[in-house]
Amino acid sequence: MSIFKYSFIVYVTVSIRCGYCAWLSCQHRSCQWLVIIALVHLAGCASTPEHSALEVPQPNATLTKLVSYALSLQGAPYRYGKASPTEGFDCSGFVWHVYQQQGIVLPRTAQAMAMQLPAVSKYAMHSGDLVFFNTTGRPFSHVGIYVEDDHFIHAPSQRTGEVIISTLKNTYWHQRFMGVRRP
């Protein structure tokens, strides 16, 4: 569409107060050019860049299936050293089992997972990423699977007794947060 068609549309449809007269229907060239220049700038804002620096990768079907499976295990019993729905899970056993069900092999301990997997900014995390915490005075002593909206699923402890969903906004987890890794 040419600049002349834009100016006609603006001239007919937009009401802008002119400093010299009543409305855009004025014949002052300065008013008409001001509107045309504004419209050209706005048209530029409406275009979409080819590449966006803020693009966040969308979870693929495997991750969606993985997170859905993890959520289906909510309520499974906590058992230290275990990694199955029938026997129960500890934190790393839970993560290890969920990923194994999708054909992805991870180390068995939280610390080994944190050391072997690539780090991801907490601002770039998405469903299926692993979130790590310091719960025992040792870095990377606890792990969970990020779900979405600051929620993660994990097998926290004997005290809670089962696989649960928690929020990173909870003071306890927020203060102990160590980082994110992507399998």
**Residue 77 to residue 41: CA distance in whole angstroms:** 60
Catalytic residue check, 51 = no
Catalytic residue among 18, 26, 97, 142: 142
Q: Which residues contact 30 (CB under 8 A, 6 or more apart)?
A: none
**Do 183 and 128 touch, CB atoms closer than 8 A?**
yes
Within the chain, residue ranges assigned H as helices are 3-13, 29-46, 61-72, 91-100, 110-116, 171-176
- Say whether 142 is catalytic: yes
Q: How far is CA 62 from CA 84, 129, 182, in A?
A: 20, 12, 14
Task: Retrieve residue 90's tokens.
Answer: 């500890």
Of the residues 28, 45, 97, 154, only one is catalytic, namely: 154
Among the listed residues 31, 41, 45, 91, the single catalytic one is 91
- For residue 2, give the 3-state DSSP assignment: coil
Do β-strands 83-84 and 142-148 pair in parallel, antiparallel, or remain unpaired?
unpaired
Bridge partners of residue 181, in order along the sequence: 119, 130
Q: Mind telling me the catalytic residues?
A: 91, 142, 154
